[in-house]
Amino acid sequence: MKTFAVFLGLCLVFVFVWERVDVVRIGYQIERLKHDKTALERQRDELRVKVSELSASDRIAKLATGKLGMSLPQQGQIIVVQSRPTDVHPSLIVPVELKVAKNYLPSRRL
Amino acid sequence: MTSSLSRGRRYALLLLLLSGFGVVLFRLATLQVLKAAELSVKADRQHQKTVSLEGARGTIVDRHGKILAMNVEVPSVFGVPNTLDRDSPLKTARQLSPILNVKTDELERKLRQDRSFVWLARKLDPEQGHRLDRLSLDGIGVVMEGRRFYPKGPLLAHVLGFSGMDGEGLEGVEHRYESYLRGEKRNMVLQRDALGRTVFPKGMAERNPTPGQSLTLTIDEVIQYIVERELEDAVGRARAKSGTMIVLDPKTGAVLAMAVSPRFDPNVVSALGPDRWRNRTLTDAYEPGSTMKVMMAAAAIEERVVRPNTMVFGEHGHMTVANTVIHDHERLGWMSFSQVIQKSSNIGAAKTGMALGGPRLYRYLQAFGFGQRTEIDLPGEGAGLLRNPRDWGRRSVASISMGQEIGVTPLQMVAAVSAIANGGVLMKPYVVSEIRDADGHILRQVPPQAKRRVISPETARSVTTILEGVITDGTGTKAAIRGFRVAGKTGTAQKIDPRTGTYSASRFVASFTGYVPADNPQLAMIVVIDDPQGDAWGGAVAAPVFSRVGEQVLSYLGVPSNEPVTLALASRQS
């Protein structure tokens, strides 16, 4: 009985110590993961700023006109076509096939 | 004998053990009971670290979610000079100098100071941080701090403003919405081990500090870019002192673009003075000149003083009022009231204004929002200058009718023109449309806000027809946009010469304000060019900017043309 009590006591001490050590180990692990998370979030934010810088209209326009030889459309070169008459109920609109000249197709490149 | 000896030994041993336990118990009692409070504080100091954390400042995006201002954690470098030996400062300074872009001498001087902490460089670029990571220097530490980035550079700088070194908003939206953008500040207690590593935050349930809220602006980045490019170009070509331009949605009062030239980069504000930061569109009042005739016309038509076809005599270009002479730019005879506006006749406007009378003119100018702030959600707005009729002179009614003796801000003027464009209702201009929390949930949506009805829809239509004539047959032909009906008015106001205190014959403010398409306005705009050289007429300097911006923005927004277009579509069999 005595031996059993001593054994039980030792087990309890072992479990207690093991638990404390494990808590500390998990604590370190959490801290490392938090550090990784912070680093990744920082990297994400840096990339978001970079994307925003690279997609600035000013930069795109400079690249388009300076490097790619593009130019702004002149007056009348852009025609906006209303997709459907506003005073007609959508159910009354009959779809028709629209043929566009081949050299206007966006897939054709010079 | 043996047993007595062994008993004696046993007692001695027992005494020894009891003494030992006694000492331990005494020590234990001293530590745990008598000195418990004092030692507990010491232990906490050794094992716990209190850090002050601040949630990241909120992001600012345009109406399509494009980032205009954002916080990123960047490294700041500090030194601990009193831990360095004699030779280290020079060696360390040489290693850090190329990374920090700070002179070696300066770094060495800082590191030789008799101090325990000194900043060497704050809020570096992320790239510099990556290079610093590869160095491991004694007596040098790195902490992460939030730095504000404006990825579009100078774009929208006068509206966004900027924040200071400690992250507080100092100008523009950053300042006005400081309480929303600023992240929560809180202290957090961390447990440290013998090596100083963080083991476990005390009370894991404690949440991190809440980041600041994010703002969605009514501004459209592309429209803003078009406006800034065209305005810079116009100011440069006219060799003008400065220029301002605003694009509003006349039906809601939402500001789509707001630009000031010259621009500044909010990422590097320290090199510039407040004169460059000022958002002149809402701080600076100017005498509007002939653009004020639009409001006078609206008031006179609403009060049935005139109709568009009422005939007015132009006095052949000269008219005396209160012992002063009012001139027109050409010798005009009889003309309809529509022509008074289209030809921008000062005499016709003065006569109509005088027929309307001072009190009614004043009432309408107030109703259009002059002499008071528009209450836009930006700091530093001026109220302009509209004197009380009690203080008016004998010529004031005539002068104000043609845009003199009154000071307006470009924002007031475009808001008033928007009221005519939308059928007569003065809207409150605004730049922030939504406030969101860090997870993107909408906390507050800002609806358009009507301030009051100023004129009837019928009067607004009449004025629109007159203003269309300004573009087709009047002084504003260069504001025309192919395929669209444009309504607008030119303005060329003489500036006051500070030396003489009278109107200068060579310095002007050229402006144009109007809206498009005239029958269903999507855009209300104002262009103001301050002190252009050479041809300084509003119709020559400002109207073309209106046209170029209008054409590109209408195309960008997909607004269909007023003119029917026949497209020749063909297919070819291959």
Q: Can you give the residue range of the structural domain that contains B137?
A: 54-149+182-212
Distances (CA, A) of B216 to A91, B58, B59, B155, B441: 37, 11, 9, 16, 12
Answer yes or no: is B565 within a domain. Answer: no
Q: Token pair for residue B4?
A: 């007595």
The verdict on a CB contact (< 8 Å) between A24 and B198 is no
Q: Are residues B246 and B187 in the same domain?
A: no
Task: Tell me the pLDDT of chain B (574 aa) as tens digits.
Answer: 455 568 888 899 999 999 999 999 999 998 888 888 888 888 777 777 666 777 889 999 999 999 999 999 888 888 888 778 878 888 888 988 998 988 999 999 988 888 778 889 888 887 887 787 777 777 888 888 888 999 999 999 999 999 988 888 999 999 999 999 998 887 766 666 666 665 555 444 456 778 899 999 999 999 999 999 999 999 999 999 999 999 999 999 999 999 999 999 999 887 677 888 999 999 999 999 999 999 999 999 999 999 999 999 999 999 999 899 999 988 999 999 999 999 999 999 999 999 999 999 999 999 999 999 999 999 999 999 999 999 999 999 999 999 999 999 999 999 999 999 999 999 999 999 999 998 899 999 999 999 999 999 999 999 999 999 999 999 999 999 988 999 999 999 988 888 888 888 888 999 999 999 999 999 999 999 999 998 889 999 999 999 999 999 998 998 888 776 555 544 444 4
Domain end call among B195, B212, B229: B212
For the stretch B283-319, pLDDT in tens is: 999 999 999 999 999 999 999 999 999 999 999 999 9
Which segments of B377-468 are extended strands (E)?
425-427, 432-436, 442-445, 450-453
The verdict on a CB contact (< 8 Å) between A81 and B560 is yes
**Tell me, what CATH number does B505's domain have?**
3.40.710.10
B529: three-class secondary structure by DSSP: strand
What is the total count of domains within chain B?
A: 2
Q: Are residues B376 and B274 in the same domain?
A: yes
Answer yes or no: is B424 within a domain. Answer: yes
| Residue B367 to residue B423: CA distance in whole angstroms | 14
Q: What is the DSSP letter of B184?
A: P
Secondary element (H or E) of residue B513: strand B503-516
CB of B495 within 8 A of CB of B503?
yes
| Residue B237 to residue B532: CA distance in whole angstroms | 9
CB of B150 within 8 A of CB of B265?
yes
* Mutation site, A34, A36, A49, interface B, largest B CB count within 10 A: A49
pTM of the model: 0.83
| Residue B259 to residue B86: CA distance in whole angstroms | 55
Active site residue B290: yes
Return the residue of B nearest to A56 by Cα. Answer: B152
Q: B88, B214, B261, B290: which is the annotated catalytic residue?
A: B290
**Tell me, what CATH number does B98's domain have?**
3.30.70.2110
Q: What is the DSSP string of B268-305?
A: G-TTS-HHHH--HHHH--B--GGGGHHHHHHHHHHTTS
| Residue B491 to residue B119: CA distance in whole angstroms | 54
Answer yes or no: is B59 within a domain. Answer: yes
Residues 6+ away with beta carbon under 8 Å from B200: A23, A24, A27, A30, A31, B190, B191
For the stretch B485-500, pLDDT in tens is: 999 999 999 888 888 8
Distance from CA of B467 to the nearest CA of A (A): 22
| Residue B405 to residue B386: CA distance in whole angstroms | 8
B551: three-class secondary structure by DSSP: helix
Considering only CB atoms, B153 lies closest to which of A30, A56, A100, namely: A56
Q: Are residues B282 and B423 in the same domain?
A: yes
Q: Are residues B256 and B144 in the same domain?
A: no
